[in-house]
Amino acid sequence: MVNRYSLAATADQLAERYQIEISPAYKPNFNASPSQLLPVITNTGPQGLSFFYWGLAPQWAKNKTISEKLINARTELFGEKPVMKKNLMQRRCLVPADGFYGWKKVGKKAMIPHRLVLKSREVFSIAGLWDEYDDEQGESFHTFSIITVPSNELTAAISERMPVIIDKSQEKKWLSGDASEADLLGIMVSLAAGKMDAYTISPRVNSLDVNDAALLLPAPAADQYGNLSLFD
């Protein structure tokens, strides 16, 4: 499961990267996590950023069963679940990011946090789906899920799944209303390992209360208890 990522770009950098309008509400996020309001670019509003809850609204966050289903959407299920196929055709989004986090298991309980990025260190787009719900008061709100695929050779050493990282040349097609199902399925593949880097980071990332630029820096391999490890 992909359950944490980062977006350290400034508003100006995002505006230039995507050629869109950036809301004053935007700010960098070094530890983006489920139930947070995060920036996405939707197929119905590609001219600017929208802010949707990742996976679930805060009031759902304690329901683990719901959480796991809504944070990620596996590519393998699009052919099995009509609802997912319908969302794929009607409600797609780009999730801007510059890295995502994974935890490599090195013992029965010990896990070492890693950051996975493009070799270019550029902002990239994760494929996502969005949805709309009404709360108990009848107010509507929006959520998004990150689409995942089996990991490439680099990421597989850390996690079984990775997000779909869309090639920059395919971003407009992903948001296009003219994209066919075959077009979209062809975009949802694992990025080549040779285009990515991975490195160990501080276990401070484990805390959702920690959200600062230091999380992006390489650090000695250490598990969640702070114990240094020979494994990376």
Q: How far is C-alpha 31 from the geometric centre of its chain's CA atoms?
A: 11
Task: For CA atoms 44, 48, 51, 56, give the dihedral sign.
Answer: positive
pLDDT value for 231: 55
Count: domains in the chain: 1
Q: Is there a domain that residue 84 lies in?
A: yes
Is 222 inside any structural domain?
no
- The domain that holds 78 is classified in CATH as 3.90.1680.10
Supply the pTM of this predicted model.
0.92
Q: Across the chain, where does the E strand assignment appear?
A: 5-7, 29-32, 37-42, 50-54, 72-74, 92-97, 99-105, 111-118, 124-134, 140-150, 161-163, 165-166, 196-200
Q: Is 30 part of any domain?
A: yes
pLDDT of the residue at 79: 83
Q: Specify if 138 maps to a domain.
A: yes
Range of the domain at 59: 5-97+122-150+162-191
Residues 48 and 66: their CA atoms lie apart, in Å, by: 29
Cα atoms in the Cβ-side hemisphere of radius 13 Å centred on 202: 13
87 belongs to a structural domain: yes
Q: How far apart are CA 12 and CA 54, in angstroms?
A: 23
In a domain, 33, yes or no: yes
What 3-state class would DSSP assign to 228? strand
Q: Show Cβ contacts of residue 74 under 8 Å, excluding neighbours closer than 6 positions.
A: 147, 148, 149, 161
Q: Digits of tens for pLDDT over the chain (232 positions)?
A: 899 999 999 999 999 999 999 999 999 999 999 989 999 999 999 999 999 999 876 655 555 545 556 899 999 988 888 888 999 999 999 999 999 999 999 887 889 999 999 999 999 999 999 998 876 777 788 999 999 999 999 999 999 999 999 999 999 999 999 999 999 999 999 999 999 999 999 999 999 999 999 999 999 988 766 676 655 5
Each residue of 30-45: b (16+ CB within 10 Å) or e?
bbbbbbbbbbbbbbee
DSSP string for 89-117: HH-EEEEEESEEEEEEE-SSS-EEEEEEE
- How many other β-carbons are positioned within 10 Å of the β-carbon of residue 157? 13
The verdict on residue 207 lying in a domain is no
Q: Look at residue 40 in the predicted model and tell me its pLDDT.
A: 98
| Tokens coding 119 | 């070799």
Residue 51 inside a domain? The answer is yes
- pLDDT at position 141 is 84
